[in-house]
């Protein structure tokens, strides 16, 4: 008598995806079966260039260690940290956002840099923006960060301080998105950090903002309570606040803490 072959059990699509994702995260956390270790750093998008450079420096100093970054709005990253995201270090673009992630902190935050804002324009300055007050001209389309992001909080303070009543045509999640609007020709001006304008080079022009020095944003960094590599996480923090980190940050235009 012929026996029926049993059909393989097929998991529902959603379940299969979840299982694959879990397997992937487990393999990643184990270093894929070798002796490597990975630490994950959640960092404000305005730190992309400097932290990427410092990550490579850290890997050179720690053979077998890989530094992965998640660059995003500080508010988004703080929320992810408090929800237990598998990460080791958090660096935000302001102290109040860092304070919102207090329950996830593995120590006391340390300020490692400061920043101020500038008005950026596309390189060819199609809106003929010559002064911050030009944002009140109906013909000028400008963009800025959302009010919940540190760059948006500082931007709003500067608009109020300088009595600008013109409204932005859009509000972006972070400074990188504001810069993208400029380089893609979708806006005449945008409020960005000095460091981001510096990193953009000849892609943008800049116009000073009156009183920008009165609205300084501070950048704190801390290890996370959920870190599985607390010693390495602290060593990365030490690199950032130490002489090497300060040199890299200073070269990018960040102010001292």
In this predicted model, what pLDDT tens digit does every residue of 12-46 receive, in sequence order? 333 333 323 333 443 344 444 456 899 999 999 99
How far apart CA 137 and CA 87 sit, in angstroms, is: 45
Q: Which residues have CB under 8 Å from 61's CB, separation 6+?
A: 239
> Could you tell me if residue 156 is left (phi over 0), alpha (psi between -120 and 50 degrees) or otherwise beta?
alpha
The pTM (predicted TM-score) of the whole model is 0.80
Could you report the per-residue pLDDT of 66-103, keeping only the tens digit for each?
Answer: 999 999 999 999 999 999 999 999 999 999 999 999 99
- β-bridge pairing 189-193 and 117-122: antiparallel
Could you report the per-residue pLDDT of 186-232, keeping only the tens digit for each?
Answer: 999 999 999 999 999 999 999 999 999 999 999 999 999 999 999 99
How far apart CA 56 and CA 189 sit, in angstroms, is: 33
Cα radius of gyration rounded to whole Å, the chain: 22
How far apart CA 131 and CA 133 sit, in angstroms, is: 5
Closest CA to 169 of 203, 140, 205: 140
Percent of the chain with pLDDT over 90: 85
Work out the number of other CB atoms within 10 angstroms of the CB of residue 103: 9
- Check residue 36 and give its pLDDT: 86
Q: Measured between alpha carbons, how far is residue 223 from residues 62, 98, 104 in Å? A: 18, 11, 9
Closest CA to 233 of 24, 18, 41, 32: 41
Q: Which residues have CB under 8 Å from 93's CB, separation 6+?
A: 44, 46, 47, 74, 115, 149, 150, 151, 193, 217, 219
How far apart CA 136 and CA 180 sit, in angstroms, is: 22
Average pLDDT of the segment spanning 159-165? 97
């Amino acid at each position: 008598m012929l026996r029926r072959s049993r059909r393989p059990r097929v998991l529902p699509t959603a379940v299969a995806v979840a299982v694959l994702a879990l397997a992937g995260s487990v393999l990643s956390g184990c270093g894929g079966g070798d002796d490597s270790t990975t630490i994950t750093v959640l960092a404000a998008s305005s730190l992309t260039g400097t932290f990427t450079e410092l990550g490579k420096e850290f890997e050179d100093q720690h053979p077998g260690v890989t530094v992965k970054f998640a660059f995003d709005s500080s508010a988004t990253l703080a929320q992810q940290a408090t929800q237990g995201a598998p990460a080791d270090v958090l660096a935000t673009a302001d102290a109040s956002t860092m304070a919102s992630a207090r329950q996830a902190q593995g120590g006391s935050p340390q300020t490692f840099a400061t920043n101020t804002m500038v008005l950026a324009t596309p390189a060819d300055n199609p809106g003929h923006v010559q002064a911050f007050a030009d944002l009140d001209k109906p013909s000028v389309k400008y963009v800025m960060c959302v009010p919940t992001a540190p760059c948006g909080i500082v931007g709003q303070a500067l608009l109020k301080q300088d009595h600008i009543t013109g409204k932005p045509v859009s509000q972006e999640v972070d400074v990188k998105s504001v810069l993208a609007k400029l380089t893609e020709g979708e806006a005449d001006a945008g409020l960005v950090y000095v460091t981001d304008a510096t990193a953009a080079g000849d892609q943008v022009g800049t116009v000073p903002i009156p009183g920008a020095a009165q609205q300084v944003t501070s950048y704190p960094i801390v290890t996370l309570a959920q870190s599985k590599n607390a010693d390495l996480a602290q060593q990365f923090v030490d690199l950032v606040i130490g002489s090497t980190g300060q040199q890299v940050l200073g070269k990018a235009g960040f102010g001292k803490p």
